Amino acid sequence: MAEILLKVAGLHAWYGESHILHGVDFQVGRGELVTLLGRNGVGKTTTLRSIMGIVEKRTGSIAFAGRETVGQPSDTIARQGLAYCPEERGIFSSLNVEENLLLPPVVKPGGMSVDEIYRLFPNLLERRRSQGTKLSGGEQQMLAIGRILRTGANLLLLDEPTEGLAPVIVQRIGDIISELKDRGFTILLVEQNFHFAARVADRHYVMEDGKVVDMIAAAEVEQNRAKLQAYLGV
Amino acid sequence: MAQVAIGLVNGAFYAMLSLGLAVIFGMLNVINFTHGAQFMMGAFAAWLLLGHLDVPFWASLILSPLLVGLFGVILERLLLKRIYHLDHLYGFLLTFGLALIIEGLAQWKWGSSGAPYPAPITGGTNLGFMIMPTYRLFVVVAALVVCLATWYGIERTRLGAYLRAATENPTLVRAFGINVPRLITLTYGLGVALAALAGVLAAPIQQVSALMGTNLVLVVFAVVVIGGMGSIMGSIVTGFGLGLIEGLTKVYYPPASNTVIFVVMALVLLVKPAGLFGQKR
């Protein structure tokens, strides 16, 4: 594996009284595309939110590029080069498409230009003056991904980008995620849709009950199909 | 027509004050009951600056909002930020209590009779239908400029986009790397500075007194409710509009002029509970 960009060790997280993560361990190498798989409620989203620093309480270690981030507020974490695309997409209704796209500040040099992003997502250019939440579900997802490409962040945390989208849009999002990997982005992807995840990822971590229980490399997916089906309940 | 012009002067104050309240409420979710006291502080700052340091009105117009805005920033850092996670009621109690303390202190130090502040512009301007004191004309124009500039800043600039986004989803905006707590502090400072600016502008028209903000702020809260909580354009339009309505009522049925705004508020609440420009939250 290449240089380790993100290393999570013994991560616990809580929402109020409920203890969601019970010691999560995994790592992501620079330039890798890694997925977190698992059924609903096993803690995949909470893991992403913990990395971003937006859970109420977390303990353990999350090292980004060798620097510990547990204990830092989320704006400080983001400025080190992490960008988050939430499950609910988080498009702002009081901002138009272009304002949504330009909202996340540039944290590092080397991000994509607005023109490049519009080339990747031509629909957004057409609708740049529309209110953000007037877009279709697929367009909103593209906007949510597009706006974090400008910032220069090199680790993208994508939470279920295909949820609730038509197959043709899922296909398109898959192409875009592969293209982003080719451009050198490191991607941590949370997915329920295993067929989608299998198409794009280098490695898969499987989560159960707030822990990572298994790791399966892309090349080993075929041998482990039965085991994966049991994990995911598909 | 003369009453219309006077109504516009009142409307200018309503608009500036309700704009500050709207900006603060939108971002902090706190109804700033200290607003009237901060308006008074603006007037007092100008009066003290003139009396003790010979600072002219025009310099106070900038200096006083800066000083009172800074006071707001300190207030937010020390007190307000501790109550954001609590119910609205606590924000109400805290800011209302602060208003009582500030006004009480001013009353204790300077009494409640009030002191005059010399008008920086004298003379009148002939508008064709009436001769209006030039200073009042200046107040209306200045308020309009300040209101529109604030609207532009919030609706058309990058910082404004941060503000609007942070109003909707502060957690996510912060996860993009924006220091939201600082943005909140600045917003409160800006809202308070707007109140202080209105106070400086009011000083030559009203007496500078400890309770000058108390009555005004009651009307302003009605304006905010009518315009719609947190709506920027709503505050501006409703502020000037209600000043006009109040002025016209003075012409046609003077006894109702003090209550007409509250009657309008009741009617608007019956028909559009979110206010004329408000959105359901």
B100 falls within a domain: yes
3-state secondary structure of A212: strand
Candidates A103, A106, A108, partner chain B, best to mutate (most B CBs within 10 A): A103
Q: Is B51 within the bounds of a domain?
A: yes
Element (H, E) at A85: strand A82-85
Does the residue B165 lie in any domain? yes
Q: Name residue A198's amino acid.
A: A
User: 3-state class of A152 per DSSP?
Assistant: coil
Would an 8 Å CB–CB cutoff place B162 in contact with chain A?
yes
Residue B31 forms part of a structural domain:
yes
pLDDT of residue A156: 97
Write down how long chain A is: 234
Give the single-character DSSP code of B167.
Answer: H
- Structural domain including B14 reads 2-212
pTM of the model: 0.88
Give the angle A84-A41-A207 at the CA atoms, nearest 5°. Answer: 80
Between chains, do B176 and A95 touch, taking CB under 8 Å as contact?
Answer: no
In a domain, B93, yes or no: yes
pLDDT in tens, A46-68: 999 999 999 989 999 999 999 99
Residues A34, A40 contacting (CB under 8 angstroms): no
- Parse chain A into domains and list their residue ranges: 4-232
A102/B164 touch (CB, cutoff 8 Å), yes or no:
no
3 state DSSP class of A217? strand
What residues in B contact A99, CB-CB < 8 Å?
161
Amino acid found at B74: I
B100-123 pLDDT per residue, tens: 999 999 999 988 788 888 888 888
- Please check whether residue B42 lies inside any domain of the structure: yes
**Does B154 fall in a domain?**
yes
- Per-residue pLDDT tens, chain B, 281 aa: give them: 777 888 899 999 999 999 999 899 888 888 899 999 999 999 999 999 998 999 999 999 999 999 999 999 999 999 999 988 888 889 999 999 999 999 999 999 988 788 888 888 888 888 887 888 899 999 999 999 999 999 999 999 999 999 999 989 999 999 999 999 999 999 999 999 999 999 999 999 988 998 898 888 888 989 988 988 778 888 899 999 999 999 899 888 888 888 899 999 999 999 988 888 876 54
CA A89, CA A133: separation in Å to the nearest integer? 10
**Number of domains comprising chain B:** 1
ipTM field: 0.92
Which site among B176, B231, B233, B279 would you substitute to test the A interface, given the most A Cβ atoms closer than 10 Å to its Cβ?
Answer: B176
Alpha carbon A129 to its chain centroid, in Å, reads 27
User: CA-CA distance, B268 to B257, in Å (whole number)?
Assistant: 18
How distant, in Å, are the alpha carbons of A3, A8, A211, B147, B157 from that of A66?
A: 10, 11, 22, 49, 37
- A4-232 carries CATH number 3.30.710.10: no
CB pair distance less than 8 Å for B165 and A103: yes
Listed residue (B227, B200, B224, B225) closest to B212, CA to CA: B200
- Yes or no: say if A168 and A15 are a contact pair by the CB < 8 Å rule: no
Report chain B residues whose CB lies below 8 A from the CB of A132: none
Rounded Cα gap, residues A25 and A11, in angstroms: 7
Residue at B87 is within a domain: yes
Q: Do residue A74 and residue B175 have CB atoms under 8 angstroms apart?
A: yes
Beta-carbon neighbour count of residue A144 at 10 Å?
Answer: 23
